[in-house]
Amino acid sequence: MASFRPVTLTSTLCKLMERIVARRVRDCIEDKLQPQQAGFRPARSTLDTLMQVTSAVRRRKDGEKTAAVFIDYARAFDSVDHGCIVKELLSFGVEKHLVAWIAGLLKGRTAKVRVNNVLSEDIGLTCGVPQGSVLGPLLFIVTVDSLSKRLNCIPGLQHGFFADDLTIVCTSADLGEIQQTIQRGLDCVTNWSAEKTEYTLFGARETNLLSLKVGETALKEERTPKLLGLTMQPHKGLSKHVRGMKAAANTRLLQLRAVASPERGPDREKLRAFYLALAQAKMCYGVASWRFDTSLSDRERLERVQA
């Protein structure tokens, strides 16, 4: 049950008020947020984080290796302390009456669970941001911004955030330096799920060259990590990612063919719209971050799907 979160059902008037407050809060904080955070921000997307990480891997010189740790936050949105939210909002210069309104919105929240038509007693929600609320995502990125600031103070360490997905990266020819820098970054994070956190050493054929820990838990090395839908590899090329995209696109094309009856199916323009939305969008996702790392044969595989 620990992985379940109640969905917030609020009135239309409350949602409207949240949107008004969210706009005022965003005006105060947007220019002050760390640039590494790409989640829940205007004109930002997963592509920003993918470009940060893949560019760091791509820019390494001969003899250098790049370590990337893909960190999973344990119950991220429902473990944020309400006191920390208030403190961070004030530190960003958000007006006190807005902070007081947000604190009142978070305070005293309760939830009930219904199982087989049996309704539980009220359960107090003493931490976390309301799931499904307008303000929730904004309050979360405000709270984790302080972690981004701490990571920026570590020399040689790069990182990228997309909401609660954090990736820290270090490039060097010296494995000892990589080990020390990455571990300093890991020591900054708390309440992270070590079971789902993994690392990859790009440019190395050997495995287990690093010994990294979150708390007392040793991290496992993953040879084909997945970052925001992009399957990466420790050496040049992204053949596994291309194969996965090709298989997914072919499946969607088969589904389109099943409904493309000349007599009773949709017309050509509608089929084209379906193709662009279902098949081509899948193959082009994040293309700016991986296009130049794919081989000619892999690109030809994708082109054949679209032929």
Question: How far does CA 133 lie from the centroid of its chain?
Answer: 19
Distance CA 177, CA 205 (A): 19
Task: Count Cβ neighbours within 10 Å for each residue of 110-140 and write b for 16 or more, e otherwise.
Answer: eeeeeeeeeeeeeeebebbbbeebbbbbbbb
Angle at 269 between CA 267 and CA 271, to 5 degrees: 70
Q: What is the pLDDT of residues 129-174, one digit of tens each?
A: 988 899 999 999 999 999 999 999 999 999 999 998 999 999 999 9
Q: Which of 111-120, 237-246, 260-269 has the highest mean pLDDT?
A: 237-246
SS3 284: helix
Q: CB neighbours of 70 closer than 8 A, spacing ≥ 6? A: 165, 167, 197, 198, 199, 200, 222, 225, 227
Q: What is the pLDDT of residues 176-226, one digit of tens each?
A: 999 999 999 999 887 666 667 899 999 888 888 999 998 888 899 999 999
Q: What is the pLDDT of residues 27-83, one digit of tens each?
A: 999 999 999 999 999 999 999 999 999 999 888 888 899 999 999 777 778 888 999
Q: Is the pLDDT of residue 2 over 60?
A: no
Residue 197 zone, left/alpha/beta (φ > 0; ψ -120 to 50; rest) = beta
Q: Is the pLDDT of residue 228 over 80?
A: yes
Q: What are phi and psi of 124, to 5 degrees?
A: -75, 135
| Contact status, residue 78 vs residue 261, Cβ threshold 8 Å | no
pTM of the full predicted structure?
A: 0.87
